[in-house]
Amino acid sequence: MKYTPHTDADRKAMLQSIGVKSVEELFADIPKEVAFTRRLAVPEAMSELELQKHLGNLAAKNADATSHVCFLGGGTYDHFIPAVVDHVISRSEFYTAYTPYQPEVSQAVLQTIYEYQTLICELTGMDVSNASMYDGASAVAEAAIMARATTGRNKILISKSVHPEYRQTLATYNLGLEMETVEMPLKNGTTDTEAVKKLLDGKTAGVIVQSPNFFGAIETPRALVDAVHAAGALLVVIADPISLGLLEAPGNYGADIVMGEGQALGNPMSYGGPHLGFFATREKMARRMAGRIVGATVDNRGQRGFVLTLQTREQHIRREKATSNICSNEALNALAAGVYLTTLGKQGIREVAELCVKKAHYAAKKVVATGKFKLAFNAPFFKEFTVKGAFCPCKVQDELLKHNILGALDVGHWYPELANHLSFAVTEKRSKQEIDELASVLEGVQ
Amino acid sequence: MKKVQPLIFELSSPGRKGYSLPALDVPDVPVESLVPKGELRQVPPDLPEVGEVDIVRHYTKLSQLNHGVDIGFYPLGSCTMKYSPKVNEQVSRLPGFAYAHPYQPEKASQGILQLMYEMEQYLAEIGGVSRVSLQPAAGAHGEYTGLLIIKAYHKKNGQKRTKVIIPDSAHGTNPASSVMAGFDIVNVKSNERGGVDLEDLTRVMSEDVAALMLTNPNTLGLFDENIHKIAEIVHAKGGLLYYDGANANAIMGWSRPADAGFDVVHFNLHKTFSTPHGGGGPGSGPVGVVEHLVPFLPVPTVDYDGKKYFLNYDHPDSIGKVKGYYGNFGVVVKAYTYVRALGPDGLKKASEDAVLNANYIMRNILEYYDLPYNRHCKHEFVAAPFRIMKATGVKTLDIAKRLLDHGVHPPTVYFPLIVHEALMIEPTETESKESLDYFIDALNSIAKEAYENPEIAKTAPHDTVVGRLDESGAVRKFNPRWRREA
């Protein structure tokens, strides 16, 4: 299979037009010392049919949320995706374009990003959103950078209940950023707000909490707002976007940055990527925010149109003085998120959130009723909950897998002190029958 | 007739629905009994209320206002806007890939892990490196990851090196990534052949320098003829060489970065390996390293013990994680499919035709356009309209805008910064001779037209749905979101 259309006659004519005898002449500037002279050791070419079969075989070796019933969460969720979403993002006018550098022929990408920004602002209670970031984890690092740039301070407080991989990512970014990071302690599975107030000081740039947190528990970031602001720091809230159909928007209670993982908004789980990080803030801080931003303007004919704006923050203009190095983001995933939020609309987002919270609570009750597990914390939760059992999580996972169920995330993998703690995520997709089956398999775990 | 479209919010009507969800099938309880009242949302988000057909028409009509590779030629320099094969899209949507959960058991993910393991091997072979991490989500993310690896390596060796050398022709991401990684930037000049000035490099190279970042071929589309000497100069002082793979589409099967002395290499799967650019992403920016840097790669690596594939977190010197999970796996599936479709000869041929196409355009526009560096180019080249500008006042921006009326996407403009009025043209290998001829004719006819009636280009575009947009107005009257009128 190849995608190069030239015939031998085309190549001959083109070489002649260029004025060379062979294509090798065009590569003569590669010094002999560094030229590659053998064939690449990659497998021989396949036809399209062979590709379909080979990739089909690889795909068939995996469990997935269509062949199995998925109760796994941990930042990636098996939510329902309306058919419209894939239909729209499959239009090649969207997916074969790139960053809209030429707005006159990019109004589709630009307007859909503007709509996405508006939807994210509505959801989070914020003034301005960027066009997306890589994912929730890397967006946490960008939030820390923004807090530092805004306050001129170098210390970040991050709760221990924030997704462990987000904290790991921040730690890795910190090899470069060299910020001081302090983990905030937990109490009953949520951030100990009183302890945090003691950690706040004149060096603190930002305080990062997640709600619902990694264990599924709903936190009370609003209890921190006054103390964080009094210390001159920014409050960053990592939110589950689906939960914002039901839970208060962090922007409405005083958060300065609201961000998180946007996969749940119409994007398949894809073994962890591509997902998208959503990121929103107050208008007065827009210039400190990383990532592309689309703004409305007018054209020379008086029509409304959209352009990339505040570009003087960005690497292609500012180079070493840019707010971030981000260039490509997750535009197509943001488009999916935009179509998803548009399709669900004002009523649907509430309905999905209510289905999640009610089914999750039913599931928790059933899991506890097996007598084999107890709720690990008594904090309120949204669509995910953590339980404690007397079994090795791998054993529980294996037993579930035998029944075509994916579940029992091993919380102790990241929290050694929480050995034998498992979490389950329950979205609107899980039926009562599936939840009952989960409970009955768990009941049989020996 | 293409028209400006209303915003989806302007089509909203209270009470209308475009979705359907199953009824609650577990015992209903009031949400107030599940969530503390103070945490419940007081005012619902003002999302649109529209029917499904309205949604579909909205996005379909909007889509028609956009240019994409599937619509026409898109010679955007350094972005490698090659055709994205449809089979890649098809297989990436297989449920066993698209609906797999990142934390499902390894034994239930063997096909995925095998694909990742094999893709790593292919990229290692193409780059000449020892191991590759698929974790970075984009090119700039790969750069940042690579720089952190370099930093960790020097630190492990007890060295605090504070500087990164970057040529004046480099992409803006290079200095931005370096600063994020905590380095100071030192610029190195280009020589009259468009390559790194060796004298200047020798001058700025010191034992404070952690690395030199280089794009090769560079942003002028020129392969650095002194690359082995550059490597010697940098290595002699203990520095490392970073390969920015944005332009790797020129060299597959012709030259391998690690063979030329590069220590860290990133690839842009959305450029070289045909995955679609998505309107600005998702991309994927795997980073590969030579042997002595392997311990510092992000975790987990995907390993094979002879029986099964597994995620290996046991790398004590690893820099950690640069994103959640394991990378943009869905993008990796497409790039993997591309490599398997082309095979060793197809990959080499792709680079060959990419170079052929660029040279063909370059040699056929010289009647009107100027070449700041008159050498055979690789997969792209930089031209400038010096004569046209002098005689008619028509600038690069005007030419770019006039190209829109010809139905092609303009090249990258005003970059690299070392060429005034730059037009950076990258046709890619997937364009036919007819398509290249059409573009050549368009560029030449715009030049001719400029001499006859420069106003046409200066006021272009004329045939697009919107005309030139007020970009400074967008900054002055910053409007990043719709708001309901009170």
Tell me the count of A-B CB pairs closer than 8 A: 719
Q: Does B406 touch chain A (CB under 8 A)?
A: no
Residue numbers of B between 277 and 296 with CB closer than 8 Å to A: 277-284
Give ∠ CA B259-B260-B265 in degrees, rounded to 5: 80
Distant-in-sequence, close-in-space partners of A286: CB < 8 Å, separation ≥ 6 = A127, A128, A293, A310, B478, B480
Residue B68 included in any domain: no
pLDDT number for residue B1: 66
Q: Does A49 touch chain B (CB under 8 A)?
A: no
Q: Does A317 touch chain B (CB under 8 A)?
A: yes
CATH number of the domain where residue B270 is located: 3.40.640.10
Q: Does B243 touch chain A (CB under 8 A)?
A: no
pLDDT at A402 over 80: yes
Dihedral angle sign, alpha carbons of residues A305, A306, A311, A316: negative
DSSP-based three-state secondary structure for A155 = strand
CA distance A126 to chain B (A): 10
Q: Which two tokens stand for residue B326?
A: 């394991």
pLDDT band per the 50, 70, 90 thresholds, residue B473: very high
- CA A266 to chain centroid, in Å, comes to 12
Q: Does A98 touch chain B (CB under 8 A)?
A: yes
Residue B321 included in any domain: yes
pLDDT at A281 over 90: yes
Q: Does B230 touch chain A (CB under 8 A)?
A: no
Q: Do B321 and A10 touch (CB under 8 A)?
A: no
Q: Which two tokens stand for residue B386?
A: 């010096």
> ipTM higher than 0.85?
yes
Q: How many CB atoms lie within 10 A of CB A216?
A: 27
Residue B429 included in any domain: yes
Average pLDDT value for residue range B348-370 = 98
pLDDT number for residue B300: 98
Q: Do B43 and A252 touch (CB under 8 A)?
A: yes
Q: Do B100 and A65 touch (CB under 8 A)?
A: yes
CA distance B269 to chain A (A): 12
- Chain A residues with CB under 8 Å of B324 CB are 75, 135-138, 163, 165-166, 169, 261, 272-273, 275
pLDDT number for residue B330: 98
pLDDT number for residue A145: 96
Residues B52, B139 within the same domain: no
Distant-in-sequence, close-in-space partners of B435: CB < 8 Å, separation ≥ 6 = B73
Q: What is the pLDDT of residues B248-270, one digit of tens each?
A: 999 999 999 999 999 999 999 99
Residue B362 included in any domain: yes
CA distance A207 to chain B (A): 20
Q: Do A176 and B151 touch (CB under 8 A)?
A: yes
Residues B371, B312 within the same domain: no
Share of chain A above pLDDT 90, in %: 95
Residues B379, B317 within the same domain: no
pLDDT number for residue A317: 81
- pTM tops 0.90, yes or no: yes
pLDDT number for residue A319: 86
Q: What is the pLDDT of residues A81-102, one digit of tens each?
A: 999 999 999 999 999 999 999 9
pLDDT number for residue A382: 98
Residues B111, B171 within the same domain: yes
DSSP-based three-state secondary structure for A184 = strand
pLDDT at A36 over 90: yes
Residue B81 included in any domain: no
Residues B333, B362 within the same domain: no
Domain that holds residue B33: 8-63
| Chain B: residue whose CA lies nearest to A37 | B254
CA distance A445 to chain B (A): 17
Residue B486 included in any domain: no
CA atoms within 13 A on the CB side of B2: 18
Q: Does B41 touch chain A (CB under 8 A)?
A: yes
Residues B353, B336 within the same domain: no
Q: Do B259 and A76 touch (CB under 8 A)?
A: no
Q: What is the pLDDT of residues A334-346, one digit of tens each?
A: 999 999 999 999 9
Task: Label the pairing between strands A204-211 and A190-191.
Answer: unpaired
Domain count, chain B: 3
Residues B399, B260 within the same domain: no
pLDDT number for residue A237: 98
Give ∠ CA A191-A196-A202 in degrees, rounded to 5: 150
CATH number of the domain where residue B404 is located: 3.90.1150.10
Are B58 and B8 spatial neighbours (Cβ–Cβ below 8 Å)? Answer: yes
Q: Does B152 touch chain A (CB under 8 A)?
A: yes
Q: Do A4 and B349 touch (CB under 8 A)?
A: yes
Residue B295 included in any domain: yes
Q: Do B18 and A345 touch (CB under 8 A)?
A: yes
Mean pLDDT, chain B, rounded, equals: 97
Residue B412 included in any domain: yes
**Domains in chain A, please, with CATH?**
69-81+347-443 (3.90.1150.10), 83-340 (3.40.640.10)
Distant-in-sequence, close-in-space partners of A175: CB < 8 Å, separation ≥ 6 = B148, B151, B152, B181, B182, B319, B320
Q: What is the pLDDT of residues B183-192, one digit of tens each?
A: 999 999 999 9
Q: Do A300 and B49 touch (CB under 8 A)?
A: no
Q: What is the pLDDT of residues B304-329, one digit of tens each?
A: 999 999 999 999 999 999 999 999 99
Residues B265, B117 within the same domain: yes
Q: How many CB atoms lie within 10 A of CB B476?
A: 11
pLDDT at A372 over 90: yes
Q: Which two tokens stand for residue A147?
A: 């807090």
Amino acid at A19: G
pLDDT number for residue A320: 85
CA distance B452 to chain A (A): 24
Q: Do A59 and B94 touch (CB under 8 A)?
A: yes
Q: Does A149 touch chain B (CB under 8 A)?
A: no
Q: Do B137 and A135 touch (CB under 8 A)?
A: yes
Q: What is the DSSP letter of B93?
A: T
- Chain A residues with CB under 8 Å of B345 CB are 39, 45
Residues B336, B352 within the same domain: no
Average pLDDT value for residue range B429-451 = 98
Task: Label the pairing between strands B381-383 and B301-304.
Answer: unpaired
CA distance A25 to chain B (A): 9
Picking from B298, B318, B341, the residue at the C-terminal end of a domain is B341
pLDDT band per the 50, 70, 90 thresholds, residue A318: confident
Picking from B319, B341, B363, the residue at the C-terminal end of a domain is B341
Picking from B292, B324, B341, the residue at the C-terminal end of a domain is B341
Which of B283, B239, B246 lies closest to B263 in space, CA to CA?
A: B239
Q: Per-residue DSSP letters for B8-67?
A: GGGG--TT------PPP-S----GGGTS-GGGB-SS--------HHHHHHHHHHHHTTB-
Q: Does B437 touch chain A (CB under 8 A)?
A: no
Residues B402, B313 within the same domain: no
Q: How far is residue B358's CA from residue B362's CA, in Å, rounded to a whole number?
A: 6
Residues B352, B334 within the same domain: no
Residues B97, B217 within the same domain: yes
pLDDT at B4 over 70: yes
pLDDT at A26 over 70: yes
